[in-house]
Amino acid sequence: MIEIATLIAERFAVGESPVWDSKTQRLLWTDIPAGTIHALDIASGERTRWSFSGPVGSFGLCRSGRLVVALTDEVVLFDPASGKRETLARIAHEKPGMRLNDGKVGPDGAFWVGGMDASNTGSPEAKLYRFGPDGTVRVIAEGLATSNGLAWDAAGARMYHSDSRGDMWIDVWDFDPQAGVAQNRRRFIADSEALGRADGGACDLDGTYWSAGPSMSRMNRFSPDGELLGFINLPVLRPTMPCFGGPDMRTVYVTSLSSGIEPEVLERYPLCGGIVSFRAPVAGVPVARFHD
């Protein structure tokens, strides 16, 4: 039986984008609408927080020690030590009410991030982008409602990507980590509604894809062939994304949200918006760093 531990019982509105920094042994994450990035030193319990002027959809680690951060319509390079911020690139959304959402640094050293319609209409007008270290922006996919689920396998040869609204699918692409090219897109999971609407994802060294299912309050595990290997029920009610971390990369940290949940439901689920963890049977794929 999997034992679920409570890491942080704080109620974040939309806790997201957990990232493990192996150099500092810290877990970082964002509270999207609060526009904050948090860091926790696992050994000492020391907490750090940085604030931005608008929503922080996601972020990644840089080789320099900076963070690459997705804001509403731009990606910036942020130095936690000095507070200096440098715009890497801006994009123009199709309409008002949209913002950047789930994003991760790929094996190619670029920042891959997708958009979403934050007006809650769920219209499929968002895109998936690749932000290169030189500031170039490539559109990878279009017609998305809420881009999510980015993750790469250990070889950097497969890229996973999901849409957690609309048709609610998970796709897999062949990936070239040298050229930063994703191609041969195909359906991995045709309809994730019954599995909890695929949100954030992560891969382990065995090629298993772990996918948060917020509407079913669970973490799903899929084989490289798309077979559901099992799932783990979670006490946070609306889990948003897993990430592997810890000294042996076998601890899975899971963020969650509390926004939009009725007060009486929150009373029954006091961990909503918090962060929980559990031990995985195999280590996760180490996080890539942006080539700044």
16 is in an annotated binding site: yes
Q: Is residue 291 part of a domain?
A: no
Q: Is residue 151 part of a domain?
A: yes
Tens digit of each residue's pLDDT (9 = 90 or more) over 22-45: 999 999 999 999 999 999 999 999
pLDDT band, very low/low/confident/very high, at 245 (cuts 50, 70, 90): very high
264 is in an annotated binding site: no
pTM of this prediction? 0.96
d(CA 176, CA 140): 14
pLDDT value for 119 = 75
pLDDT > 70: percent of the chain: 99
pLDDT value for 122 = 62
Q: Is residue 288 part of a domain?
A: no
In terms of DSSP bridges, do strands 98-105 and 201-203 run parallel, antiparallel, or are they unpaired?
unpaired
pLDDT band, very low/low/confident/very high, at 204 (cuts 50, 70, 90): very high
**In Å, what is the CA distance from 84 to each residue of 52, 67, 77, 79, 282?**
12, 11, 8, 5, 38
Report the CATH number that the domain containing residue 29 is assigned in CATH: 2.120.10.30
Tens digit of each residue's pLDDT (9 = 90 or more) over 170-196: 999 999 999 999 999 999 999 778 888
pLDDT > 90: percent of the chain: 88
Mean per-residue pLDDT of the chain: 95
225 is in an annotated binding site: no
Tell me: pLDDT of 163 over 80.
Answer: yes
Active site residues: 199
Q: Is residue 285 part of a domain?
A: no
pLDDT band, very low/low/confident/very high, at 128 (cuts 50, 70, 90): very high
* Total domains, the chain: 1
Contact 195, 232 (CB under 8 A): no
Q: State the residue range of the domain holding 84.
A: 5-279
Q: Is residue 292 part of a domain?
A: no
Q: Is residue 169 part of a domain?
A: yes
Q: Is residue 52 part of a domain?
A: yes
Q: Is residue 286 part of a domain?
A: no
